[in-house]
Amino acid sequence: MVQLPEARDLAPRLATGAFILNAGLTMLRADRETAEGVHSMACVAYPFLTKIPAEQFTRMLACSQVAVGGSLLAPFVPTRLAGLALTGFSGGLVGMYLRTPGMRESGSLRPTQEGTGLAKDVWMLGIGLGFMGAAGRRRRAAASRSRRASFARRRRCWCRG
């Protein structure tokens, strides 16, 4: 049986999923110049990416954005799994913000004007981490309710005996 997301998870899943899906669909149509710009910025933070051609990297990034956005929007994808995908994706963006020179004020985490675009992605990391943690708390709460109900049933039986 597929468990639908809880009501409290719907708004952040829809908002974040739509945002990331739109970015991915837009990037799928990126021209060569845009692809090279995205690739060069990513290579500054993650030098191993220089081995991948710019257009191939941009296409892979766009496909991953579509996948992450789609997982958040699809109600049959468990919130914890969607949160894991979102955390991994946004962690890479936050890492890029932290590693790219000129994105932060000297000696601070505060973004420069140029860094605001990447710094704002920290909200996605927070949502992803929240989704991952919330699922575990819900399971523990359900198990606790089940144990209490079972104990109450046994107690009623003992009291009648």
Kindly report, residue by residue over 32-65, the tens digit of the pLDDT: 999 999 999 999 999 999 999 999 999 999 999 9
pTM recorded for the entire structure: 0.78
Which tokens in the block code for residue 57? 């990297």
| 80 belongs to a structural domain | yes
Domain with 31, as residue range(s), is 7-160
Residue 144 CA to residue 24 CA, distance in Å, equals 41
Residue 135 CA to residue 127 CA, distance in Å, equals 12
| 2 belongs to a structural domain | no
pLDDT score for 5? 78
| 122 belongs to a structural domain | yes
Residue 101 is classified by DSSP as: T
SS3 (DSSP) at 111: strand
Alpha carbon separation from 126 to 9, 52, 89 (Å, rounded)? 13, 29, 12
Residue 54 CA to residue 37 CA, distance in Å, equals 8
